[in-house]
Structure formats: C-alpha cells, structure tokens
Amino acid sequence: MWNDVFQAIDEQYEQMVQTRRHLHQHPEVSFYEEETAQYIADTYKRLGVPYEKKVGGNGVLATLEGGKPGKTVALRADFDALPIQEENDHLEFKSQNDGAMHACGHDGHTAALLGLAEALVPFQDDLPGTVIFLHQHAEEYAPGGAKPIVDSGKLDHIDAVFGTHLWVNTPTNVIETAKGPFMAGADRFEIVIQGKGGHGAQPHQTKDAIVIASQLVTSLQQIVSRRVDPLKTAVLSVGTFEAGHTFNIIADSAKLTGTVRTFDPEVQQLIMEEMEKIIKGTCTGYEADYSFNYEKGYPPVVNHEAEAELVLQRSHEADSSLRTQEVEPVMAGEDFAYYLLEKPGAFYFTGAQISDHYYPHHHPKFDFDEKAMNHAAKTLLQAYRSYQEKHQNS
C-alpha cells in the first residue's frame, strides 16, 4: 500500500503547485488568516474528511481515521504570512495583498499537507491508526498559534506529532534534523530611552538619547561575549534603532528593539538580568530615564530522540532521491516547540533551495523550489508510517 500512496502523492504534485500559488497570491498575516483557514476547511469538506475550525484561534484540525488499529499521529503545517511587501516581480503568482507575503514557505507547507490528505483519502481503509492534519495559524508572531491549540485540549489524545519546514538554506533532496535541541528559544525586547532634547549646537544642555542608546548597543553585545559561559549558546541582536527627526536637533528619546536566542533557561535568565543592569547603569550615568520590556517568546524546539531517529533513518524510504543528515541546532525559533513539550515527536527541515535565486527566509524576494513540497508530503507520511510500524504492538 505505501508505495501506492507515495505514487499518489507524486500524482498530486501539480495540484500542490496550484494550491501553493493560490495561497501565495492571497497571503494573510498572523491572527488574520480567515480566508486561508476557510480554504483549508473547504478542501477537507470536499474530501469528506471531518474537520474542526477555529481551534485555538484560526487553526483547522482534520481527522482521517484508518481502518486498521494503530496510533494517532498529528502532522503539522502552518499557514500564516508575514507583513512584508513582496518584490518578486517575475512571479505570475506574486502576492496581491499589499504589505503581506508568504516569505517563509508556509504556503508550501499547507499545500504539501493538503496534497498528502488528497493522496491518503482513497487508502483510508488500509491505514493504521489515525492521522490528524494539523493546520496551524500564527506561527510568525508570538504568542503564536501552537500554544492556544495545545491549550484547547484538541490534541490531548494524540500519541506523537511531526512537522517540517521548507528550508532554502539546504539543497533540495536533503532532509535535516537533530536528536535533541534543534531550534532556539526566541525572545524579543524593547528599550526606550528618555533623555532631554535640544539644539545640536548646544549639546551640553541636553541628555542625548542617541548617544545613550548607541552606548547600549555596544554594551549589550558584551553580555554574550563576557557574561555567558562560552560553552553555552546565545545570541543577542539589536534589530531596530529609532531616534530623532531633524538633522540639527538632539533627540530626547530613542527606542531599541531586538531579539535574544537561547537553549538554556538559566542562560535566558542571566541575559535578562544582565540587560537590566547594563541599561540601568548606563542611563543612571547619563541621568536619563528608561523603560525595558522583555517578552519571553517560543521555547526551544527540542526533538525527542526516538522520533528524530525515525526521520533520519527512514526518510529515504519515501523517495530514493532523498538523503538525511543530522545537523547542529540553529538559532531560528519555531512555536512547534509547544507540541514537543506535550507529546513525543520531531521537527525537521526539508531542503528547498533554488540555486540561481537564493534569498533567505523573511526576505521580500524569498522563494523556494516547489519540488520540495512533494518531499515534505512524502516524508511526513513516512514519519507517520515509521511511527505506526515501530509501535504496532504497543
């Protein structure tokens, strides 16, 4: 049966492309994915697969019960877009929604999972266990969609969960994951400096917010280099610096925003405390006021070893062209972490690189090799199959 299902996925490829391009033309940003969720629900309605809408927000869960005994396994795809203006003018399916773009591959994730569902339905009676098609909203923006879906209790009955991310840093045909920590916890912060503005020719009468904030940008970098154990991993990056309006006026306020990435809760706590010390000390020295807001984001993605091993050892059974490799953790974040805190499972990257059009995730010219959608659908099915076979007598 499995070879027939994999062949059926191949036959769904053109439909996956059409689905992906439709979604790419009509992106919706996190928490506003109403039409996208309806499109997904309509697909399952057409297939005759029971589904639920509005799970944890805009999430959609569809359930395909196999005709043979087995485990219940969730396969996840996210479907939100980013607030980015697309610059891929060469694409016939360029975003039609100003200021919104699928710049991370979530349109491809959704198309792959829907294609897998289309391929599986005719084989329902022969399937072991139950497949949960987990379509998640709002991955891109904390607090995200995964946690409210978990909190809804709709996944309490599942035995395992798998998910993949199309990854343009990796060549097509390569599957990557790690046994254990795989993606970092992702936090964000905002610092507002309130000084005293004045004329550019009279700096002695001011408390220059730009100078103070500049000092902070430099000093904050010393937390990772001088306060964090060098055998631990951490990133602190300032992403925005907003201050001033006119060339000859010293700014009275400045705002810094940025992100902190960690794997270890103790390192995360250390960085928070050290940031507060540096900000307070710097502003005290300049006699300026400040506010500091630190938001803990998604926890680290930590794969369960046994499930990650299934991905690494058996993905090639889905397609002989695929090869797998175990990789070091990356500092990008993902709210798939919340599922893994509750259930066994694994998250992995599906290579999707376009050799002559490489732009990173979240870039306005981002694009991916659409053939990777086929690999994503097949490897998700293979993960489901491998888990069922491993636990068939338990």
Is the pLDDT at 51 greater than 80? The verdict is yes
Domain boundaries, the chain: 2-183+300-390, 185-298
Calculated CA dihedral for residues 339, 315, 389, 51, nearest 10 degrees = 50
Is 137 annotated among the ligand-binding residues?
A: no
Please report the pLDDT score of residue 393 as a whole number: 76
In terms of DSSP bridges, do strands 185-194 and 174-177 run parallel, antiparallel, or are they unpaired?
unpaired
Query: Does 199 carry a binding-site annotation?
Result: no
pLDDT (0 to 100) of residue 8: 98
pTM equals: 0.94
Beta-strand relationship, 59-65 and 128-136: antiparallel
Q: Does 179 score more than 90 pLDDT?
A: yes
Is 347:161 a contact under the CB 8 Å cutoff? no
Looking at every residue in the chain, the average pLDDT score rounds to 97
What is the tens place of the pLDDT at every residue in 13-22?
999 999 999 9
The Cα–Cα gap between 218 and 38 comes to 47
- Determine whether domain 2-183+300-390 maps to CATH 2.40.160.50: no
Has 362 been labeled as part of a binding site? yes
Instruction: Report, as residue numbers or ranges, the catalytic residues.
Output: 80, 139
- Report whether 317 belongs to an annotated binding site: no
Q: Is 41 helix (H, G, I), strand (E, B) or coil?
A: helix
The CATH topology of domain 185-298 is Alpha-Beta Plaits (3.30.70)
Structure-block tokens of residue 25: 């033309």
Q: What is the pLDDT of residues 300-332, one digit of tens each?
A: 999 999 999 999 999 999 999 999 999 999 999
Q: Is 140 annotated as a binding residue?
A: yes
Residue-wise pLDDT for 107-157, tens only, equals 999 999 999 999 999 999 999 999 999 999 999 999 999 999 999 999 999
pLDDT of residue 371: 98
